[in-house]
Chain A
Amino acid sequence: MTTHSDRGSLFHSKKYTEFATIAEEFRQGKLKATFILAPLAMALRREGVPIKIVYLGHRDGTTLMVHRDSKIRTFEELRGKTVAIPHNYSNQRILLAREMEKHGMEPGDLRLVVYPPPEMPSALQKRAIDAYIVGEPMAAKAEVEGFGRVLAFTKDLWPNFISCVLVVREDLIRDHRALVQELVDGIAASGKWIDAPGEDLTPGVRRSGEVPADSAGVAVLPEGWGASHRMQAATIAARGEYYNQDPELLRFVLSKPPDRVRYTGLVPARGDFEEIQRYAEKLGYFRPSTPADPFGFDDYCDPSFATGGKP
């Protein structure tokens, strides 16, 4: 693996444990590019932070989990229960609101609590919460470890669900447009690569038994995994500097089912975001758009990078 792109630029990933910290560093300008929850990005823009959503992180890939021994089998049976969400400005909270509307439930029918995603599985195991909804792999972790059961995949509740998006500060776009384009191109290429057929090894990945003497920085495919691009991606993502998880968990997320999370179709689309905005305003994430104080897709989104720089 290399942090240098094909064009020679250097991209460093910086791992966080909660979205609130990312938001604060973005406000202060300490961070200029990040993946963050889509509605939180919109809220930041509404409060005046000069940012733009330039690409999506993925589609789907969020799951609603209950305890394996829970009697909850349908969404309606969550009535009166405690459900953990990753942030008050999350799309997961919006999804719950959408489902509650569909099932004739009132806003107070679910007790929502905010948990950092890494703490959700253990909270479910201890029965401190009745359910949680979060992006992978924190949902699958409960399933793989045997105490969690999938109540619903978001792909079945809200097809093409958006959770995290790639956001950059406007000064970065203004002063280093080519670097932003390179970042988006790289992410787009990675998404296409993940689902492309073939077992050609990407740089930095080796099959078990073929590991060089100096194996630092090499991701080794476990025995018996095969070498499909998804399996290579699972091996890379499991590393300490990224997800820092058991590779088997990432393998599970990327394969069971195969469309649990998707990395194509990631161009920000106006219709998708306008629906998110409607719910976000209704839930009070930010002040609603009005004729006197308009706010819309063109304020918080710049899809030009997703089309290769062409408007």
Chain B
Amino acid sequence: MKRWVGIALAGLAVLFALHVQLNLGGWPRFVSRAFHGRVERGELVVGFLPVT
């Protein structure tokens, strides 16, 4: 049981590091493009408030 808890915690730590790195732009471009690649694919999100 302890072994599985350890593995799960290690996995969470990796996910957290991945999250931090992606947001800091520290990963190779091809990885960040998978997560932040919309603009590279010719897509753009445009924000608005439904008021003029």
Contact = CB atoms under 8 A, between A and B. Distances in A.
Interface in A7-31: 8-19, 22, 25-26, 31
A17 B46 contact: no
Interface of B: 39, 41-52
Contacts, number: 91
A8 B43 CA distance: 9
Interface in A221-258: 242-245
A144 interface: no
Contacts of A277: none
The dominant DSSP class at the A interface is: mixed
Q: Which 8 A-B pairs have the closest CB atoms?
A: A34-B47, A135-B52, A61-B52, A10-B43, A243-B50, A9-B42, A135-B51, A117-B51
A22 B47 contact: yes
A35 B46 contact: yes
A14 B45 contact: yes
Contacts of A86: 51
A137 interface: yes
A199 B44 CA distance: 30
Contact of B48 (A16, A18, A137): A16
B51 A16 contact: no
A163 B45 contact: no
Contact of A9 (B43, B47, B51): B43
A136 interface: yes
